C-alpha cells in the first residue's frame, strides 16, 4: 500500500501502488513486449511517477526521456529518432579482465623539457607516478598523454586510481580512506587501499548503451570485438548510423551475451505527450516492443478520446487500439484540495519561499479553480512582491495582487471568447 505522503510524492495512492508492482515485474523480467501508459489530466504527477520508477530501478539502469513532438524534424526521419532513443535506453554491462596498475598515488611529478617547436615554452616529456598497495609500491614513468588523462580525472596524491596497461586509460576510484576526516557528511568518496600487487589482472565493469556503441562505430576502425567497440567510443565523430551497422553491433552484442562477457540491462524509455506521435511512429513502436533488444517503455498522455495523428480515426488517448492492447494503463487522478496544499507547501520549501498557512490555503483554492501548475507559478512572483513590501513571508494580499496580474489558461481562453472581435483571426 502506498504511503499518502512520502519521498516528495503526494496522493495518487493507487497509481503509485501500480507503479511499484510494475517495478517488481520489470525486475522479474515479466514486462517483455508490454509497455506502461500513464494516463490522466494535466498536472497529476505522470512525469514524477516515471522518474520514480527509473529511480527505483537504480542509477545503473539507463533512463532516456523524450517528448512525442521531438520526432518531427526536417533532417532526421521520425522512426530514426525513435530508434536512437530506444537504443539510448538499452544498457550493456561489459565485464573484462584487464592488466592494470592500481594503487594509492604517493607521487605525481611531471617532468618538463624544452619545447621542440622552439621559443620559451616548455612541454611535458613524461610523468613519474608512485603507486602503493598493501603489498608494496611501484614507480612508473608514463607518456605525457597519460598525464592529460590524470588531469582530466583530477588525480592528486592520496587518490586511489588504476591505469589500464594496454590503453593507458585512467580511472579515479576515490580518495584513500587513510585521509578520511571526522565529518559525518562530505562530498568525497573514501575507498580502502588496494590489496595485492600494483601490477595485476583486474575485472573491469563498464556500463554503456547500444547508442554509445552505434555512435562510436559509425566508421568502424579495427576489429568487431568488444575491445574495439569500447576503444572507439573515445573518438568523437559525427557520421550517419545505418541500419546495417546496428545489425552488426547487435550480432556482436548477442554473441558476447551468450559467452557471458556482457550482460544486457534494459533501461527505461519515457515518451511524454505520446499523443503527438503519428500512425507511422505507433506502427514502429508496435514492432519495436516485440524485439529481444527492447527497453521498458513508459508512455504518458493527458488526452481523452481524440484523433490518432495522421489519420481520421478517433481512439482513446489518441493511441491506436492495437497498441493500446499491449499497454498496462495506470490512471492518475486530479488532486483534491488537501493534496494541492501539501504539494504547494513542498514546492515552497524546495524554493525556500516563506508562506503562512492562510496564504497557502488561499493558493490551494486558486489551484483548484485554475490549475496546480498555475498556483505553483504564482509562488515566485508573490515572494518578489512580499520582499518589495519589506516582508520575507508571503501574505494573502501578495497572492491576490499577483493572481490579478497573471492569467491562467482558462481565464485567458474565456477572455478571448468574450473579446474575439478585438483580435486578428
Q: Is the dihedral of CA 225, 227, 229, 235 positive or negative?
A: negative
Around Cβ 312, how many Cβ atoms within 10 Å? 6
Domain 96-205 matches domain 337-420 at the CATH topology level: no
**Beta-strand relationship, 122-132 and 137-142:** antiparallel
Closest CA to 38 of 302, 323, 321: 302
**Beta-strand relationship, 268-272 and 122-132:** unpaired
Q: What is the pLDDT of residue 225?
A: 52
Closest CA to 168 of 101, 217, 230: 101
* Distance of alpha carbon 155 from alpha carbon 146, whole angstroms: 11
Closest CA to 361 of 349, 351, 375: 375
Residues 154-208 have pLDDT tens digits of: 888 889 988 888 878 888 888 888 877 655 555 677 888 888 888 888 877 788 8
Sheet strands (E) in 170-212: 170-176, 190-191, 199-209
Domain boundaries, the chain: 5-61+267-331, 96-205, 337-420
Q: Does domain 5-61+267-331 have CATH number 3.40.50.300?
A: yes
Closest CA to 25 of 34, 37, 14: 34
* Distance of alpha carbon 48 from alpha carbon 25, whole angstroms: 19
CA 282-284-287 angle, 5° bins: 110
* Distance of alpha carbon 70 from alpha carbon 317, whole angstroms: 19
Residues of the chain with pLDDT under 50: 220-223, 235-238
Helix ranges, 99-242 (H)? 144-152, 210-216, 226-231
Around Cβ 62, how many Cβ atoms within 10 Å? 25
Reading the block at residue 171, the C-alpha cell is 580511472
CA 63-65-67 angle, 5° bins: 165
Q: What is the pLDDT of residue 178?
A: 81
Residues 83-96 have pLDDT tens digits of: 999 999 988 888 87
Q: Does domain 96-205 have CATH number 2.40.50.360?
A: yes
Q: Scan for cell 573514501, then name that residue.
A: 190
* Distance of alpha carbon 87 from alpha carbon 84, whole angstroms: 5
Q: What is the pLDDT of residue 316?
A: 93
- Residue 402 · residue 388 · CB < 8 Å: no
Q: What is the pLDDT of residue 183?
A: 56
Would you say how long the chain is, in residues?
A: 425
Element (H, E) at 53: helix 46-57
Q: What is the pLDDT of residue 43?
A: 84
DSSP per-residue codes, 201-247: EEEEEEEEEHHHHHHHTSS--S-SSHHHHHHGGGS----PPPHHHHH
- Residue 139 · residue 107 · CB < 8 Å: yes
Closest CA to 269 of 19, 112, 73, 67: 67
| CATH number listed for the domain at residues 337-420 | 1.10.8.60
Q: Scan for cell 513502436, then name that residue.
A: 285
pTM here is 0.70
Closest CA to 335 of 6, 12, 1: 12
* Distance of alpha carbon 416 from alpha carbon 169, whole angstroms: 62
- Residue 96 · residue 88 · CB < 8 Å: no
Per-residue b or e along 395-415, where b marks 16 or more CB atoms closer than 10 Å to that residue's CB:
bbebbeebbeeeebeeeeeee
Amino acid at each position: 500500500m502506498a504511503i499518502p505522503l512520502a519521498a516528495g510524492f503526494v496522493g495518487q495512492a493507487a497509481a503509485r501502488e501500480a507503479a511499484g508492482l510494475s517495478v517488481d515485474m520489470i525486475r522479474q523480467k515479466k514486462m517483455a513486449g508490454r509497455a506502461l501508459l500513464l494516463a490522466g489530466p494535466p498536472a497529476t504527477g505522470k512525469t514524477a511517477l516515471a522518474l520514480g520508477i527509473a529511480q527505483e530501478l537504480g542509477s545503473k539502469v539507463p533512463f532516456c526521456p523524450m517528448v512525442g513532438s521531438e520526432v518531427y524534424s526536417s533532417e532526421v526521419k521520425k522512426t530514426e529518432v525513435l530508434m536512437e532513443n530506444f537504443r539510448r535506453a538499452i544498457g550493456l554491462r561489459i565485464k573484462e579482465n584487464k592488466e592494470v596498475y592500481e594503487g594509492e598515488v604517493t607521487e605525481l611529478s611531471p617532468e618538463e623539457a624544452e619545447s621542440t617547436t622552439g621559443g620559451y615554452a616548455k612541454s611535458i616529456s613524461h610523468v613519474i607516478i608512485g603507486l602503493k598497495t598493501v603489498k608494496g609500491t611501484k614507480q612508473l614513468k608514463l607518456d605525457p598523454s597519460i598525464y592529460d588523462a590524470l588531469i582530466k580525472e583530477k588525480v592528486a596524491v592520496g587518490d586511489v586510481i588504476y591505469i589500464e596497461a594496454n590503453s593507458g586509460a585512467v580511472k579515479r576510484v576515490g580518495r584513500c580512506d587513510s585521509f578520511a576526516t571526522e565529518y559525518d557528511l562530505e562530498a568525497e568518496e573514501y575507498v580502502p587501499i588496494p590489496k595485492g600487487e600494483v601490477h595485476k589482472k583486474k575485472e573491469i565493469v563498464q556500463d554503456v548503451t547500444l547508442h554509445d556503441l552505434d555512435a562510436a562505430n559509425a566508421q568502424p576502425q579495427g576489429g568487431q570485438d568488444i575491445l574495439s567497440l569500447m576503444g572507439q567510443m573515445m573518438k568523437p565523430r559525427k557520421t550517419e548510423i545505418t541500419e546495417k551497422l546496428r545489425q552488426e553491433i547487435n550480432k556482436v552484442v548477442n554473441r558476447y551475451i551468450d559467452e557471458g562477457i556482457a550482460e544486457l540491462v534494459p533501461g527505461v524509455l519515457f515518451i511524454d505527450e505520446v499523443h503527438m506521435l503519428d500512425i507511422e511512429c505507433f506502427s514502429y513502436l508496435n514492432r519495436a516492443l516485440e524485439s529481444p533488444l527492447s527497453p521498458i517503455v513508459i508512455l504518458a498522455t493527458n488526452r481523452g478520446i481524440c484523433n490518432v495523428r495522421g489519420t481520421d480515426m478517433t481512439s482513446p488517448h489518441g493511441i491506436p487500439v492495437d497498441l493500446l492492447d499491449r499497454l498496462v494503463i495506470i490512471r492518475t487522478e486530479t488532486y483534491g484540495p488537501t493534496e494541492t496544499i501539501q504539494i504547494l507547501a513542498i514546492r515552497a520549501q524546495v524554493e525556500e519561499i516563506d508562506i503562512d498557512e492562510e496564504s497557502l490555503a488561499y493558493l490551494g483554492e486558486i489551484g483548484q479553480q485554475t490549475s496546480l501548475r498555475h498556483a505553483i507559478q504564482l509562488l515566485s512572483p508573490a515572494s518578489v512582491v512580499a520582499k518589495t513590501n519589506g516582508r520575507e513571508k508571503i501574505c494573502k494580499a501578495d497572492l491576490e495582487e499577483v493572481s490579478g496580474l497573471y492569467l491562467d489558461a482558462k481565464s485567458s481562453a474565456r477572455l478571448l471568447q468574450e473579446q474575439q472581435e478585438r483580435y486578428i483571426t
